[in-house]
Amino acid sequence: MKQFNQQLQKKADAVKMRVAEKRELRERVISYMEYHPLPAELKVATKSRTALAKEIMSDPFWVFNINTKYVQSGLVLGALILFVGVPTLAEKSLPGDILYNMKVSVNEEIRSTLAFSPYAKVEWEAERLERRLSEARLLSQAGRLTEAVEQEVADAVKKHSDSAHETILAMHETDSENAILAEIAFASVLEAQADILNLQGPVTLAVSDATDEPTVATTIALAVADARTQTENFDPSAVTPEKLFALIERDTTYAEELFGSISSDTSKEEADSIDRRLGDIGRKVVLAQEKMAMLVEMGITVETVEAASDIQPSTEVPTSTAELSVALTTSSTNVREEETKQLIALLRTALTDTRKLISFMTDIEVRNSVTVENLVPITLTDEERTQLVEKQLREIEVLRAEIDTLVIEPMLEEKIVPAVAEAVAKAEQATAALKSGLLADAEVFARESLALITDSRALLVGSAVLPEIISGDISTSTATSTEGSPLETTTEEATSTEPEV
Amino acid sequence: MAVASKPNNIPKDHEERFLKAFDEYSDALFRHAFLRINDRERAVDVVHDAFAKVWTYVRAGHEIKSYRPFLYKVLNNLIIDEYRKTKEASLDALLEIDGIDEGTFAELQEDGVDSMIANLDGQKAFDLLSELPDVYREVLILRFVDELGPKEMSELIEETENVISVRLHRGLKLLQALVEKAESTATGKRAKPKTT
C-alpha cells in the first residue's frame, strides 16, 4: 500500500505548473483582484507600529464599542425614570407601599422647600394634612388600615398642624395680617376635615375590624380635633376683608374648575346639588360685599362726625355736642366692630364651605361616604325664605279652617281657644313682618304660629300621628330645596312644644 | 491540513489571506485539474476561474474559515461544468451506471482497498488514470493524489462515504484490470518477437 501511494505520489508530483505558467496565473488572479477590489468596509486598515503595540497592550482586556448616542439616550432615559417616573408613581402610593416613604420624605419635602413664603408653607402643611387624611380614607375603604398606620396618620396630622402653627406664630411677629389670614385658611381646612371625619365616623368604624377599641375615626378625628383646639385666637378684625375675599375668590375659582372637570362623571342630582352649594357660597360672598360697602360708608360718617367734633375742642362751650359725637363715635365703633365680626364670620363660613366642597369633589372616598347635603347644608335665599313663610301661613289657614269645623270638647275649650287665637295673632304678625320686609321676624312668627295651630289640632283629633303626617307633608313638598333647613326644626319644635299647650 | 496546522499565522487582511491561499494551493489544484481534464491550458484556466469565483465570494463579505476544502469544492464544480461542455453524453451514461448500485460488502471495506493496492504498481496505475471514467478517476485522485480523507471527499463531491468507498473499490478494480491488460499486452509485445 505504501509502495503504491509513494509511486503514485511521485508521478503526481511531477505534474506541476511550469514557473512561467504559475507566474502568469498569479498575475491573472492579482489583476482580477485589482479589477474587483474589496468594498471599503471589508478593507482592514494597515496598522502602524504604535497601533500594533497598543493592540498588544490592550489585548487582554475586553473592549466594548458602545455608540455614544445610545449611551446618551440611555442616560437620559435612566434620568427620566429616576427623576420623573419613580416620583410620579410614588405620588400614588399609600402607607405601607414601597414608594410611600419616597412620597412623604422626598417628594413632599422637596415641595415644602419650594414653598418660599411662610404663607405658602402653611398652605402646603394644610395640603399635606389633607393628603394624610385622604390616604387614611382610601386605606380604610380597602380594609388595609391597621392600628399602626392609623397612629402614623394621627402623628402626621399632629406634625403638620404643629408645623403650621409654628409658622403662623413666627409669621405673626412680622406680618400679623397674613398670619391671621393663614390661620383662618388653616382653620377652615381643619374644620372641613373634622366635619368630614365626624360624618364619616360610622363608615370607617364599620370597615375597621376592631370594634371595641378606638378606631380610625376616633384616633384620627381626635388628632384633628386636637389640632383645632390649638388654633390661636387672633383678633380677626385685624384682617382686611379684601384679603379674605381674595382667598375665597381663589378657592371658589378652584372649586368651579374642579366642578367643571368632574361634572361629566357625576349624576345630575349630585351636579345640581354641588352647583347649588357653589351658588350659596357666591351669595354669601355678595352679602359680605354689601356688608363691607355698608361698613365703608359707616366709616366715612364716623370720620366726618369725628372731624366735626374736632373743630371746636378748645372752646369753653358745654361739650354736649362733643360728648354727643363721642358717644356717637363709640356706639358706631361698636356697631362697626360687631358688623366686621359678622362679616369675617360670614367669610369664614364661605371659606370653610368651599374647602369642604373641594374635599368632596377631589376625594372620591369622601364622595362615596358622605352626601353633599350633610357636608354643606343649603343656605336659603331670601326669596326661598319668603316662599317658605308664605307656605307656612297658608298651612296655618288650612289648619284653622279645619279646627273651626271640628266640635271642641268643653274640657279642651279653654286650652284650644286661646292657643288658636294666639296662633292667628302670630300669623298676622308674620304677614305684617313679611310685608315690611322683616324676613327673620316673619319666619319666627310663622314658625311659632304653625306650631301652636298644629298642636291644637292634634289635641282635638286626639292623635299624635298627625303632626308627623303634616311634617312629612311639608318636607316632601319643599324637599328640593329645604333639607336640613329651618323647616325641619319647625316640626321638631312643634313636637317639643306640645306639653306647653 | 495546511490552514489548520498554522493557527497562529492567519493573516488579518482578506487580500493577504487570499494570496497566501493561492501560493499554497494553486499547484495542488492545478495538478488535480490537469489529472481530471488532461489539458494543461484548460487546467490553468479552471484554476484561475476557481480563484476568481472565490475572490468574488470574499468580496460579497463572506468569511472563509478554511480555504483548502472551499477551493477544492469550487474547482470540482468547475471541472464538472467543463465535462458537461465536452463529454456530456458519456458523463451522464457513467453516472447512470454508478448511481443505482449500493455496492457489495467487500466494496464497502476499506481493507479491501488496501489489499487491492498492495499488489498494484503505482507508477503504472498513475499513467492509466486518464483511461478511467471520471467518476472513478475523481475519487482516486482525491484519495491518492490530493490525499483527502473519506469525510472530506464525501463533503466535496456530495456523496455518502459508502458511495465513495464503492467508487474507490470499483475504480481500483478497473485500474487493476487496465494495469493487467497493459502488462499482458506489453509482455505479449515482448513475447511476440521471441515467438515470431
| Angle in degrees, CA A140, A131, A264, rounded to 5 | 85
| Chain B nearest-CA residue for A18 | B27
Could you tell me which residues come within 8 angstroms of residue A175 by beta carbon, excluding any fewer than 6 positions away?
Answer: A118
Burial pattern B132-157, b for ≥16 Cβ within 10 A else e, equals: bbbbbbbbbbbbbbbebebebbbebb
| Chain B nearest-CA residue for A23 | B23
- In terms of pLDDT, which residue wins out, A471 or A333? A333
pLDDT attached to residue A466: 45
- B13/A22 CB distance under 8 A: no
pLDDT attached to residue B71: 92
pLDDT attached to residue A313: 47
* pLDDT range class, residue A28, cuts 50, 70, 90: very high
pLDDT attached to residue A207: 41
Most confident of A307-316, A400-409, B31-40, B42-51: B42-51
Tell me the count of A-B CB pairs closer than 8 A. 98
A217-256 per-position pLDDT tens digit: 577 777 777 777 776 666 666 667 777 788 888 888 888 8
| Chain B nearest-CA residue for A17 | B27
pLDDT attached to residue A3: 76
- Spell out which residues of chain A touch residue B145, defining contact as CB-CB under 8 Å: 8-9, 12
- In a mutagenesis test of the B interface, which of A3, A5, A7 is the best target, namely the one with the most B β-carbons within 10 Å? A7
A3 touches chain B (CB under 8 A): yes
**Contact indicator for A311, A298 with CB cutoff of 8 Å:** no
Is pLDDT above 70 for A315? no
pLDDT attached to residue B55: 92
Task: Say what angle helices A118-142 and A216-229 make with each other, to 10 degrees.
Answer: 160
Q: Which helix (H) or strand (E) holds A90?
A: helix A86-91
Mean pLDDT to the nearest integer, A73-92: 86
A21 touches chain B (CB under 8 A): yes
B31 touches chain A (CB under 8 A): yes
Which of residues 32 through 91 in chain A touch B, CB cutoff 8 A?
32-33, 36-39, 41-44
Mean pLDDT to the nearest integer, A165-187: 80
Mean pLDDT to the nearest integer, A295-304: 66
pLDDT attached to residue A143: 76
Three-state secondary-structure class, residue A371: coil
- A11/B127 CB distance under 8 A: yes
pLDDT attached to residue B51: 94
- Give me the torsion for CA of A7, A13, A14, A19, rounded to 10°: -170
Q: Which of A128-132, A139-143, A188-192, A202-206 has the lowest mean pLDDT?
A: A202-206
Which of residues 59 through 78 in chain B touch A, CB cutoff 8 A?
59, 61
Q: What is the mean pLDDT of chain A?
A: 73
Taking phi over 0 as left and psi of -120 to 50 as alpha, with beta for the rest, A494 belongs to alpha
| Chain A nearest-CA residue for B50 | A29
Q: Can you read off the three cell numbers belonging to residue A324?
A: 354727643
pLDDT attached to residue B72: 92
- Spell out which residues of chain B touch residue A39, defining contact as CB-CB under 8 Å: 59, 61
Mean pLDDT to the nearest integer, A343-347: 79
Cβ neighbours, 10 Å, residue A147: 14
pLDDT attached to residue B25: 92
- B26/A25 CB distance under 8 A: yes
B47 touches chain A (CB under 8 A): yes
Return per-residue pLDDT of chain B as tens, 196 residues: 444 433 444 445 888 889 999 999 999 999 999 988 888 899 999 999 999 999 999 888 888 888 888 999 999 999 888 888 776 555 555 555 554 455 566 566 656 667 777 777 777 788 888 888 888 888 888 888 888 888 888 888 888 888 888 888 888 888 888 888 888 887 776 655 544 4
Is pLDDT above 90 for A153? no
**Contact indicator for A158, A230 with CB cutoff of 8 Å:** no
Nearest residue to A422 (alpha-carbon basis) of A470, A455, A462, A465: A455
- Dihedral sign, CA of A266, A267, A273, A275? positive
pLDDT attached to residue B143: 87
Is pLDDT above 90 for A164? no
pLDDT attached to residue B53: 93
Report how far residue A497's alpha carbon sits from residue B15's, in angstroms, rounded to the nearest whole number.
Answer: 118
Q: Can you read off the three cell numbers belonging to residue B72?
A: 477544492
- In terms of pLDDT, which residue wins out, B3 or A371? A371
**What beta strand segments (E) does chain B contain?**
none
Is pLDDT above 60 for A322? no
Mean pLDDT to the nearest integer, A293-297: 78
| Chain A nearest-CA residue for B125 | A8
Report how far residue A216's alpha carbon sits from residue A210's, in angstroms, rounded to the nearest whole number.
Answer: 10
**Contact indicator for A272, A483 with CB cutoff of 8 Å:** no
Which of residues 125 through 164 in chain B touch A, CB cutoff 8 A?
125-127, 144-145
* CA A96 to chain centroid: 24
- In a mutagenesis test of the B interface, which of A29, A34, A44 is the best target, namely the one with the most B β-carbons within 10 Å? A29
Mean pLDDT to the nearest integer, A187-195: 80
Distances (CA, A) of A158 to A171, A219, A220, A221, B170: 20, 11, 10, 11, 105
- In terms of pLDDT, which residue wins out, A46 or A29? A29
DSSP state of B7: G
- B122/A11 CB distance under 8 A: yes
Report how far residue A426's alpha carbon sits from residue A125's, in angstroms, rounded to the nearest whole number.
Answer: 53
- A26/B48 CB distance under 8 A: no
pLDDT attached to residue B195: 47
**Contact indicator for B164, B153 with CB cutoff of 8 Å:** yes
- Spell out which residues of chain B touch residue A25, defining contact as CB-CB under 8 Å: 26, 30, 44, 47-48
* pLDDT range class, residue A372, cuts 50, 70, 90: low
Q: Can you read off the three cell numbers belonging to residue A98?
A: 414601597
Report how far residue A227's alpha carbon sits from residue A221's, in angstroms, rounded to the nearest whole number.
Answer: 10
Cβ neighbours, 10 Å, residue B60: 9
Is pLDDT above 70 for A479? no
- Spell out which residues of chain A touch residue B13, defining contact as CB-CB under 8 Å: 44
Report how far residue A218's alpha carbon sits from residue A150's, in angstroms, rounded to the nearest whole number.
Answer: 10
Type of residue at A106: V
- A8/B47 CB distance under 8 A: no
Mean pLDDT to the nearest integer, A156-161: 85
- Spell out which residues of chain B touch residue A10, defining contact as CB-CB under 8 Å: 122-123
Report the percent of chain A where pLDDT is more than 70: 71
Report how far residue A216's alpha carbon sits from residue B192's, in angstroms, rounded to the nearest whole number.
Answer: 132
- In terms of pLDDT, which residue wins out, A308 or A403? A403
* pLDDT range class, residue A2, cuts 50, 70, 90: low
Report how far residue A221's alpha carbon sits from residue A394's, in angstroms, rounded to the nearest whole number.
Answer: 45
Burial pattern B100-118, b for ≥16 Cβ within 10 A else e, equals: eeeeeeebeeeebbeebbe
Question: Among A15, A24, A37, whose Cβ lies nearest the Cβ of B34?
Answer: A15
- In terms of pLDDT, which residue wins out, A79 or A478? A79
Question: Among B35, B56, B123, whose Cβ lies nearest the Cβ of A36?
Answer: B56
* pLDDT range class, residue A305, cuts 50, 70, 90: low
- B15/A33 CB distance under 8 A: yes
Nearest residue to B172 (alpha-carbon basis) of B122, B116, B133, B131: B116
pLDDT attached to residue A288: 81
- In a mutagenesis test of the A interface, which of B15, B127, B140 is the best target, namely the one with the most A β-carbons within 10 Å? B15
Report how far residue A471's alpha carbon sits from residue A466's, in angstroms, rounded to the nearest whole number.
Answer: 9
**Contact indicator for A38, B59 with CB cutoff of 8 Å:** yes
- In a mutagenesis test of the A interface, which of B126, B128, B139 is the best target, namely the one with the most A β-carbons within 10 Å? B126
- A26/B22 CB distance under 8 A: yes
Three-state secondary-structure class, residue A29: helix
- B27/A16 CB distance under 8 A: yes
- B117/A10 CB distance under 8 A: no
- A5/B56 CB distance under 8 A: no
Report how far residue A161's alpha carbon sits from residue A132's, in angstroms, rounded to the nearest whole number.
Answer: 12
Cβ neighbours, 10 Å, residue A43: 12
Question: Among A12, A25, A26, whose Cβ lies nearest the Cβ of B126?
Answer: A12
Task: Say what angle helices A320-362 and A118-142 make with each other, to 10 degrees.
Answer: 40
Cβ neighbours, 10 Å, residue B20: 18
Question: Among B14, B30, B56, whose Cβ lies nearest the Cβ of A42?
Answer: B14
Nearest residue to A378 (alpha-carbon basis) of A474, A268, A487, A250: A487
Q: Which residue in this structure is represented by grid cell 476499506?
A: B110
Q: Can you read off the three cell numbers belonging to residue A466?
A: 298627625
Question: Among B15, B34, B118, whose Cβ lies nearest the Cβ of A38?
Answer: B15
